[in-house]
Structure formats: C-alpha cells, structure tokens
C-alpha cells in the first residue's frame, strides 16, 4: 500500500497528463483490484475450487491490463513493468497448460491403459 500513500518512491511528476494528481486512487486500484484478484485466485487454487482456473485467468488478464494502462497513462517504462507483464503471461500460460496440456496428458495416459488391457474396442 506504499504506492497508494507515497507512490512507493515514484516521482509525482510521472502522473502529469493523467487524470490523477496523487497515487492514492491508482494505488488503491492496484492493491484492491489487481492484488485482490491475485489473492482470490491463489486461495481458490489452494482450496482446489472448481472455478480456480477461471479466477487465475481473470487475475492474469487483470495484471496485463493494468500494465498496458499504466504504460499508456505514465508514458514511461520500468523494469518492473516488464517483470509483472512477464508474470501475467506466465500465469496465463500455466492456466492454459492446466486446461489443455494436463487434460490431454491424462486422456493419452487413459487411452494407452485401455489399449494395453484390450478394452479399447
């Protein structure tokens, strides 16, 4: 929440030309919306909820959208933006892997077990 109250060391000048005159609103959005969806997704995954992959996808896309909007508003670049963008991409890649690759691997393993036992007819 340091971003919400003092910009986490970012100069206030980086908000020039944006609709914000302080870091309070962007910091609260970042902490509550972006951080909140990430926390919800993590808790859902830990609790093995049926909707956990959907929550993770929403959180990953939320992070990417945040970075895009941040870069458009601030019109600058930081190493942290690239890092968090990469984490958002990684999160979405893991969701896709769990939806597609993991399910495909289970189906392949199941089909080969049926073939070996002669029940694939």
Note the pLDDT of residue 6.
55
**C-alpha 62, offset from chain centre:** 6
Alpha-carbon distance values, 4 to 10, 35, 120 (Å)? 11, 13, 60
Note the pLDDT of residue 60.
93
The sign of the CA dihedral 6, 10, 13, 14 is negative
Q: What is the pTM of this model?
A: 0.70
pLDDT in tens, the chain (121 residues): 455 455 556 777 778 878 888 888 888 888 999 999 999 999 999 999 999 999 999 999 999 999 998 888 877 778 888 999 999 999 988 888 888 755 554 455 555 445 545 555 4
Q: How far is 114 from 111, CA to CA, in rounded Å?
A: 5
């Amino acid at each position: 929440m340091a971003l919400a109250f003092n910009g986490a060391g970012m100069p206030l000048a980086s908000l020039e030309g944006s609709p914000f005159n302080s870091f309070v609103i962007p910091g609260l959005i970042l902490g509550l919306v972006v951080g909140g969806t990430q926390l919800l997704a993590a808790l859902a995954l830990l609790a093995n909820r049926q909707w956990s992959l959907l929550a993770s996808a929403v959180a990953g896309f939320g992070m990417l959208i945040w970075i895009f909007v941040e870069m458009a508003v601030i019109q600058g670049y930081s190493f942290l933006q690239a890092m968090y963008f990469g984490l958002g991409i990684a999160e979405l890649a893991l969701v896709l892997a769990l939806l597609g690759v993991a399910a495909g691997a289970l189906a392949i393993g199941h089909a080969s077990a049926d073939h070996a036992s002669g029940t694939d007819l």
